[in-house]
Amino acid sequence: MVALFLIGRQTSQLNQLQNSYVTLNEKLISFEESVKAERESLSETNQEFLNSVSELNAELVSTKESLETSVQSLATLQHAISTGDKATQKQIFGGVGIKYKFNRDGHLIIQEVLKNSPAYNQLYIDDAITKIDDRSVKGLTAAEVTDLIRGDAGDKVTIEFIPAGQLDSSSKVTLVRALINAAQKSEKSK
């Protein structure tokens, strides 16, 4: 009888140990899942951070190139002023760095974007400008459009446009005018 009692007691203790093991195993699995989810979250956060750093670096490089272009234009302007070269003086102005034309339908279409200009990587070939500082370009002359786009370096200008090939959408970008050297080689932007 004592033997049966001891066997029953050991069986009970064994059942308790098995239950404890199952409970601990479930907690361990839950903990492992939490750790896995946290790792994935950290991985996504790290990737977002790296993407942000990469975008910021690209923006800084672009800004540096724009500043270098402005400094070169300023040096050219200073040289033109000191030598009395009026033709070169007229080629340097505050603007965004685009060349455009009116098409047959009267739309203002971007033909070229100067590399390292404020418009570079913001406006593209064949984008159609619809408004400049909330003023419609419809019915304006080329000289009037030029007057709206050009201005003092450092001043902002907002350009509303229809991206090339996207007739049913429009976008808006605010650019800070910089010194533009019209004699600078233009480069087709993306």
CB neighbours of 100 closer than 8 A, spacing ≥ 6? 108, 109, 110, 111, 129, 145
Domain extent, residue 178, equals 92-187
In a domain, 77, yes or no: no
In a domain, 119, yes or no: yes
| Burial grade of 140 (CB within 10 A; 0-12, 13-18, 19 or more) | middle
Q: How far is CA 168 from CA 36, 109, 126, 132, 164, in A?
A: 44, 16, 15, 19, 10
Residue range 5-14, pLDDT digits in tens: 667 677 777 7
In a domain, 17, yes or no: no
Q: Please count the structural domains in the chain.
A: 1
In a domain, 82, yes or no: no
In a domain, 70, yes or no: no
Q: What is the CA radius of gyration of the chain?
A: 33
Say whether pTM exceeds 0.85.
no
In a domain, 169, yes or no: yes
In a domain, 110, yes or no: yes
CATH (domain of 129):
2.30.42.10
How much is the average pLDDT of 138-155?
A: 89
Residue range 83-119, pLDDT digits in tens: 776 666 555 668 899 999 988 877 899 999 988 889 9
In a domain, 30, yes or no: no
